Amino acid sequence: MKDYFGYSGKVCVVTGAASGMGKATAEMLVDLGAQVYGLDWAEVKVEGIAKYIHTDLSQKDSIDQAFGEIPAHIDSFFGIAGVSGSKTDFVTTTKIDLISNKYICEEILPSRMSEGGSIAFITSTGGNGWEKEGNKNVYLPIVQANGWDGAVEALNKTLLPHLPGTLGYPFSKLAMNYYTIQLQATYAPKGIRVNAVLPGSTDTGLKDEFTAMAGGEEALLSHTGYAKRLAESREMAEPIVFLNSPMASYISGELLRVDYACTAEEVAGLAQPVQPIDLTAVLEHIQKMGQK
Ligand SMILES: NC(=O)c1ccc[n+]([C@@H]2O[C@H](COP(=O)([O-])OP(=O)(O)OC[C@H]3O[C@@H](n4cnc5c(N)ncnc54)[C@H](O)[C@@H]3O)[C@@H](O)[C@H]2O)c1
């Protein structure tokens, strides 16, 4: 039988491997014969992984330490961990959902990956509208800052840290969707691909927090289109495992929406569009509030 996915013996790093989509991804990779390194602040209980490494992705030193425990050569990176922002402030949410991925991909992976390597993130359809100028103007200074400290400094120079953690979620996902495309340009000359999966609402460890943020179960389900149910973690693991495999060797810079056509129907005008967040308007609003 041909091993189409080609993960056998490959070193794969999965963040967020303790729960939800990250756990489902780690399980699938183990089944496909990969050496899986699971980074999470909660214990990763996946039979057959090479190593669980306790990591706090909101701390640069913890990330450095974790990568010190992983073989020098990494084949595939799966940036999946994330928080909703309902239990963390804006800056911490952004460190976990955006800055940790940026730091790993800019400061660690360039010397650890070679041609044929692959990087994929789980971002979100909550980051739809990433291409709008009003959003770009707000997130670009952070995305384009240098290093961990530079990104945190750029964030702290704005009014964003005054916002609740729950707004750190769409902010980070808008930025991650842009960043995926920016990063593929950096990695393309090295023959390394970069992609992202943008899930719709999924039944994971974050379900209760997203249900509360949406205003109840019915509201959450109203964004599931014809599926009329939340996705399962496995249904996000499968596309991200595909994107990082040689099966997707001509796919890079792809933002793969896995939301049962919800976004596509909105774009086509077949469904009522959900207005994407406008970060510029949000910032203008808090500026006005501060002047009162
Ligand atoms: N569940 C959804 O409806 C949904 C929709 C769109 C996008 N997402 C995104 O999917 C990704 C995976 O989340 P999930 O839904 O599977 O939730 P989950 O809570 O089941 O898994 C997230 C994992 O990230 C880990 N994590 C969180 N903060 C961490 C930190 N500081 N350091 C180390 N590990 C940390 C958690 O311990 C957990 O194991 C996230 O990026 C999330 O934003 C989720």
Instruction: Give the pLDDT of residue 112.
Output: 98
Q: Look at ligand 1, atom 25, and give the residue with the nearest C-alpha.
A: 16
Q: Is residue 2 part of a domain?
A: no
Q: Is residue 6 part of a domain?
A: no
Mean pLDDT by runs of 10 across the 292 residues of the chain is: 96 98 98 98 98 98 98 99 98 98 98 98 97 97 98 97 96 98 98 98 96 93 93 98 98 98 95 90 87 73
Beta carbon of 206 within 6 Å of any ligand 1 atom = yes
Give the Å distance between the CA of 71 and the centre of ligand 1: 24
Q: Please, which residues have CB within 8 angstroms of residue 250's CB and are 6 or more apart in sequence?
A: none
Beta carbon of 55 within 6 Å of any ligand 1 atom = yes
Q: What CATH number should be reported for the domain holding residue 20?
A: 3.40.50.720
Instruction: Give the pLDDT of residue 157.
Output: 97
Torsion of CA 193, 105, 195, 197, to 10 degrees: 150
Whether residue 17 contacts residue 240, with contact meaning beta carbons closer than 8 Å, is answered with no
Count: domains in the chain = 1
Q: Is residue 152 part of a domain?
A: yes
Dist. CA 33–CA 51, nearest whole Å? 14
Model-level pTM greater than 0.85? yes
Instruction: Give the pLDDT of residue 273.
Output: 85
Dist. CA 235–CA 135, nearest whole Å? 29
Q: Is residue 141 part of a domain?
A: yes
Give the Å distance between the CA of 271 and the centre of ligand 1: 28
Q: Is residue 1 part of a domain?
A: no
The distance in angstroms from the start CA to the end CA of the chain is 69
Dist. CA 232–CA 226, nearest whole Å? 15
Q: Is residue 5 part of a domain?
A: no
Instruction: Give the pLDDT of residue 275.
Output: 86
Instruction: Give the pLDDT of residue 201.
Output: 96
Beta carbon of 41 within 6 Å of any ligand 1 atom = yes
Q: Is residue 4 part of a domain?
A: no
Instruction: Give the pLDDT of residue 23.
Output: 99
Give the Å distance between the CA of 105 and the centre of ligand 1: 18
Dist. CA 66–CA 64, nearest whole Å? 5
Torsion of CA 206, 285, 100, 88, to 10 degrees: -40
Q: Is residue 277 part of a domain?
A: yes
The residue range of the domain holding 178 is: 11-291
Give the Å distance between the CA of 2 and the centre of ligand 1: 33
